[in-house]
Structure formats: structure tokens, C-alpha cells
């Protein structure tokens, strides 16, 4: 990983070199991440929480390397906002002597809270915003209750996990959607699924059933209502995993939250039809995302 990055930034017709530094930090044995520091001292930092599955601290996964959260951190640094992003425990199971069946959704919450307190108590940042993407939005809502200055939901579902998965599967096959609903009911009532449909094994394999149950006990709208800090809800109009209605539903339970629907933005925070690429030949973030986050954070 590069320790020092130099990015050419264009503001209006002026050119300037924005410099920032990245450091790999091990907060504890569970939380290993990247601290991104702007070139000037700042009292403001963001905790960036990744989405579900094998999505790493940079927003990439084996099926879709996109570095969206890394780009997000760099964009914030260019606007004098530090950040910390980290890998979930699933990336260190062997090192931690854990298996997939040992994981609980509450572990994800615990690790995010550890990250928040690292920024707040160890690094002494005075203003900290929690930014959660997708699954990380729910984790972030709960984490932000521990003393954050603000919260940003990026493509965050409004319904319980089971409802969203049933919806997504049903969009592909109504029959499998019905089976998915039955499997979730069985998991809640019997604490296990005795015979998983082979076509749904990726979702309900025995090693993740308890994780799913621990995740499904949280209701995003209920957790969001517990926050008494500024809230920004962001979604893209081309997000096929979490649609704009989710953002509107979240907004409906917190009247003073800000709602931002970005035209053509997809689930990985990039614009459909975008052709511009960065120095690593990857598509850039939606052009309005960093300015919107910067404005929200600076006004906290």
C-alpha cells in the first residue's frame, strides 16, 4: 500500500496539488485499518464502515474490485477531513482462530465502536462523523449512538435484513422468494433451518445462520430514530440493491434528516455512464458525492 499519495485536484480553473498520508493502524486484534490524514491538521474525522459480504475497507470485493471507499477517504482528505476505514473480522478469521460460525452481527457493531473511540479518545478528534455504506449503514446508526457528531447513510436499507433479502430474491424468482421467507421464519422459530433449499445455500448455509439471526434483530428505522445528531441520507437513483425508496423511508422517520438522491449513482457510489477514470484506471465516484459529504460534515 502506498504510504504517500499525490493527487492532482482541479478546482474551477485552478490547479493545486493535494497531499495526504495513509497509515495502516491496528487498533486491537480485531480492528485493522487505514488512517487517512490530510496535509493540514484537522479536528474533523470520519469513520467509514463497509457493506456486507467480503467487502474490504476500500469498498472492494473479489467479484467487484472498485475501491469506492478508498476514493471516498481520499476525497474527504482533499477537503481536510481525516478518516479511518477498516476490514471486518471475516478477513482475519484464520489469524484470529475463528470460523464463519463464530461471527455475530454484534461483533461488527463492537468493532465499529472501537473505531469510533479510537478517533475520539486516542486521536482526540473533536468532530467525528460516522459514514456507513449498505450493511454498514445499520452498523453506523448503532455506532453513532456512542457519541458521534453526525451520521451519513450511504445506500442504507430501511427494512430489516430478512425483508430486503426476501425482496431481492423474489425479484429474481417468486418461488425462491417464498422459500426464503419460510427459511427466515424457521430460523426465528427453531433457531436453525433443518433443510436448506440447495439453490439458497449461499444465503442460508449452516455456518452463517446464527449471524443472520443476530443481524435480523435490528430494525434500521428504529435505530435511526435513536439518533439526536445531524443525519444525511444518500442514495443513488440507479442503485439496484438498495433503491431510492429505502432512503425516503429512512427520511420519513427522522423529519429533520437531510435526504440526497444522486441521479444515476449506483450501489458502489459511481455514476452510470461515467467514463472518467483516476490514475489507477478506475471509474471515479459520482461527482456530487464528495462535495455533498464535505458540506454536511463541515457544517456539523
Q: Are residues 76 and 174 in the same domain?
A: no
For residue 4, the model assigns a pLDDT of: 34
For residue 18, the model assigns a pLDDT of: 54
Q: Are residues 245 and 130 in the same domain?
A: yes
Q: Are residues 119 and 253 in the same domain?
A: yes
Q: Are residues 80 and 179 in the same domain?
A: no
For residue 16, the model assigns a pLDDT of: 38
**Tens-digit pLDDT profile for residues 236-264:** 999 999 999 999 999 999 999 999 999 99
The overall pTM is greater than 0.85: yes
What is the C-alpha end-to-end distance of the chain, expressed in Å? 32
Q: Are residues 29 and 119 in the same domain?
A: yes
Of 195, 217, 239, which residue is a domain's last? 217
Are 15 and 52 contacting, i.e. CB atoms less than 8 angstroms apart? no
Q: Are residues 136 and 274 in the same domain?
A: yes
Q: Are residues 137 and 15 in the same domain?
A: yes
Of 200, 217, 234, which residue is a domain's last? 217
Are 170 and 162 contacting, i.e. CB atoms less than 8 angstroms apart? no
What does the H/E/C string look like for the chain?
A: CCCEEEEEEEECCEEEEEEEEEEEEECCCCCEEEEEEECCCCCEEEEEECCCCCCCCCCCECCECCCHHHHHHHHHHCCCCEEEEECCHHHHHHHHCCCHHHCCHHHHHHHHHHHHHHHHHHCCCCEEEEEEECHHHHHHHHHHCCCCCEEEEECCCCCCHHHHHHHHHHHHCHHHHHHHHHHHHHHHHHCCCCCCCHHHHHHHCHHHHHHHHHHHCCCHHHHHHCCCCCEEEEEECCCCCCCHHHHHHHHHHCCCCEEEEECCECCCCCECCCCCECCCCCECCCCCHHHHHHHHHHCC
pLDDT one digit per residue (tens) for the chain, 300 residues: 333 333 323 322 223 345 799 999 999 999 999 999 999 999 999 999 999 989 999 999 988 889 999 999 999 999 999 999 999 999 999 999 999 999 999 999 999 999 999 999 999 999 999 999 999 999 999 999 999 999 999 999 999 999 999 999 999 999 999 999 999 999 999 999 999 999 999 999 999 999 999 999 999 999 999 999 999 999 999 999 999 999 999 999 999 999 999 999 999 999 998 777 777 778 899 999 999 999 999 999
Q: Are residues 30 and 91 in the same domain?
A: yes
Q: Are residues 199 and 239 in the same domain?
A: no
Structural domain including 192 reads: 161-217
For the chain, the domain total comes to 2
For residue 9, the model assigns a pLDDT of: 30
Q: Are residues 283 and 253 in the same domain?
A: yes
Say how far apart CA 180 and CA 185 lie, in whole Å.
Answer: 9
Task: Residue 30: give its domain's CATH number.
Answer: 3.40.50.1820
Q: Are residues 58 and 155 in the same domain?
A: yes
Q: Are residues 198 and 209 in the same domain?
A: yes
Amino acid at each position: 500500500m502506498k504510504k504517500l499519495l499525490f493527487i492532482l485536484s482541479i478546482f474551477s480553473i485552478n490547479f493545486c496539488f493535494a497531499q495526504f498520508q495513509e497509515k495502516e493502524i491496528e487498533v486491537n486484534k480485531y480492528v485493522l485499518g487505514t488512517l487517512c490524514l490530510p496535509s493540514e491538521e484537522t479536528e474533523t474525522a470520519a469513520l467509514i464502515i463497509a457493506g456486507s459480504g467480503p467487502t474490504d475497507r476500500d469498498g472492494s470485493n473479489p467479484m467487484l474490485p472498485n475501491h469506492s471507499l478508498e476514493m471516498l477517504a481520499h476525497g474527504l482528505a482533499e477537503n481536510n477531513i481525516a478518516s479511518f476505514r477498516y476490514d471486518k473480522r471475516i478477513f482475519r478469521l484464520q489469524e484470529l482462530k475463528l470460523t464463519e460460525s463464530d461471527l455475530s452481527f454484534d461483533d461488527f457493531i463492537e468493532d465499529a465502536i472501537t473505531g469510533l473511540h479510537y478517533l475520539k479518545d486516542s486521536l482526540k478528534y473533536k468532530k467525528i462523523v460516522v459514514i456507513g455504506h449498505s450493511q454498514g449503514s445499520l452498523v453506523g446508526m448503532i455506532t453513532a449512538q456512542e457519541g458521534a457528531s453526525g451520521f451519513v447513510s450511504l445506500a442504507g436499507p430501511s427494512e430489516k435484513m430478512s425483508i430486503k433479502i426476501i425482496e431481492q430474491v423474489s425479484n429474481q424468482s417468486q418461488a425462491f422468494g417464498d422459500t426464503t421467507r419460510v427459511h427466515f421464519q424457521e430460523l426465528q422459530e427453531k433457531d436453525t433451518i433443518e433443510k436448506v433449499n440447495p439453490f439458497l445455500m449461499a444465503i442460508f448455509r449452516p455456518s452463517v445462520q446464527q449471524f443472520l439471526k443476530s443481524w435480523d434483530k435490528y430494525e434500521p428505522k428504529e435505530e435511526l430514530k435513536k439518533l439526536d445528531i445531524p443525519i444525511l441520507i444518500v442514495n443513488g437513483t440507479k442503485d439496484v440493491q438498495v433503491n431510492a425508496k429505502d432512503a425516503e423511508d429512512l427520511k420519513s422517520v427522522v423529519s429533520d434528516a437531510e435526504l440526497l438522491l444522486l441521479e444515476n449513482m449506483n450501489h458502489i457510489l459511481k455514476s452510470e455512464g461515467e467514463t472518467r477514470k483516476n490514475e489507477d484506471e478506475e471509474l471515479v465516484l459520482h461527482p456530487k458525492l464528495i462535495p455533498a459529504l464535505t458540506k454536511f460534515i463541515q457544517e456539523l
